Amino acid sequence: MVGPEGETVTQRASTGGLPSDGVIDATLEEVHARYHGLDDGEVADYIPVLAEADPRWFGLSLIESAGTVHEVGDVDTEFSIQSISKAFVFALVCQSRSSELVHERVGVNNTGLAFNSVMAVELNDGKPLNSMVNAGAIATTALMPGTTSAEKWENIRSGLSRFAGRPLRLDGRVYESEMTTNQRNKALARLLESYGRIITDPLDTVDIYTRQCSLQVTAHDLAVMGATLADGGINPLTGRQVVSAEVARDTLALLASCGMYENSGEWLFEIGLPAKSGVSGGIVAIAPGKGALGTFSPRVDAAGNSVRGQRACFHLSRALGLNLFASNAVAQRVREGR
Ligand code: DON
């Protein structure tokens, strides 16, 4: 259960535009004040450097497709993007190769298992099932264009920077820390190799994957990156087309089914938005045609999703009418001549 027990937030309809700037700003302030004291969850420590994060950090950014920025709290604090990179690397690979290729080689169905599951690969004849879990993300990174590992890495770094609208930098400490503790990802890459599912060097591919996860972003960056997917692939702040409208659509479809790991169904049921989380505490949630939310707070639940971030998205989705599935009864209004 993501939503707060016993607390109701009136669901506005998703059809139509966003509420006024004043309503959005006041709602962001209210949500920040309501959840900044929530101390459920733990700061991730399986990548040792992540444990240094201050659990009090809490930032909320909402950027409209038209480019208007609404923010409260720690929206300029940098943290490593972690699994949220998977969504944008998927989009870049679909753009440079094709969505069909990723569909066929990696898959687009939820595993129903944890993000680092080995069993999910074993149960499916070596097919990782989707690009949002670690095995599928490693297989997707392997498809990134580039003749050398350095070139593939630069294509990822510059591609994610175009989504953010600014040059993103590697957090060397996070990268080093993860490289000493990522035996499981190396094992997943070897397993994929044994099934003939990746043909690039498995350990080099894990190295690039670990670099992509170590790029530093802020809650503001996540909202810009998400708003780019919300607006047919055009970055609302730079005006630059980063991916095609078709790729943006395909990425959002995948995020809706797989972005929150084994909790994706529950997330879609309660919040109704395509989204992606990272274990360092970030969440990006996208309202197609309207904009995106970037949230950051380091305490995560057992699935690796930020606790305050999920609560904030739950509240904002309802209060701002973001849920894709919420509609008003137009037919009745037409019949009554209103
Ligand atoms: O591969 C890993 O385990 C990390 N680099 C990323 C995991 C992650 O963010 C899971 N998210 N909730």
Q: What would the pLDDT profile of 288-313 be if each residue is shown by its tens digit?
A: 999 999 999 999 999 899 999 999 99
Q: What is the token pair recorded at 24?
A: 């959005």
Would you say residue 16 has pLDDT above 90?
no
pTM summary value: 0.95
Would you say the CB of residue 115 lies under 6 angstroms from ligand 1?
yes
Q: According to the model, what pLDDT value does residue 338 have?
A: 67
Integer angstrom CA distances of residue 255 from 76, 97, 110, 227, 329: 25, 19, 10, 14, 28
Cα 252 vs. chain centroid, distance in angstroms? 10
Q: Which residues pair with 61 in a beta bridge?
A: 71, 294
Which of these is catalytic: 209, 247, 277, 307? 209
For the question of residue 209 being annotated catalytic, the response is yes
Would you say residue 7 has pLDDT above 80?
no
pLDDT digits (tens, 9 = 90+) for 165-188: 999 999 999 999 999 999 999 999
332 pLDDT tier (thresholds 50, 70, 90)? low
The answer to whether residues 223 and 62 touch, using CB atoms and an 8 Å cutoff, is: yes
% residues pLDDT > 70 (the chain) = 97
Instruction: Residue 256: name the closest of 231, 229, 292, 286 by CA.
Output: 286
Instruction: Tell whether residue 330 is among the known ligand binding residues.
Output: no
pLDDT digits (tens, 9 = 90+) for 188-225: 999 999 999 998 999 999 999 999 999 999 999 999 99
Higher pLDDT, 284 or 331: 284
How many other C-beta atoms lie within 10 A of the C-beta of residue 19?
A: 14
What value does the mean pLDDT take over residues 135-160?
Answer: 97
Contacts 24+ apart (CB under 8 A), 171-177: 171/78, 171/80, 171/214, 171/215, 171/216, 172/214, 173/49, 174/47, 174/49, 174/50, 174/80, 174/213, 174/214, 175/210, 175/211, 175/214, 176/49, 177/47, 177/48, 177/49, 177/50
At 202, which helix (H) or strand (E)?
helix 202-213
Q: What is the 3-state secondary structure (H, E, C) of 175-196?
A: HHHHHCCCHHHHHHHHHHHHCC
Would you say the CB of residue 304 lies under 6 angstroms from ligand 1?
yes
Q: According to the model, what pLDDT value does residue 327 have?
A: 86
For the question of residue 83 being annotated catalytic, the response is yes
Q: Which residues pair with 64 in a beta bridge?
A: 291
Would you say the CB of residue 116 lies under 6 angstroms from ligand 1?
yes
What value does the mean pLDDT take over residues 67-84?
Answer: 98
Would you say the CB of residue 264 lies under 6 angstroms from ligand 1?
no
1 pLDDT tier (thresholds 50, 70, 90)? low
Instruction: Tell whether residue 93 is among the known ligand binding residues.
Output: no
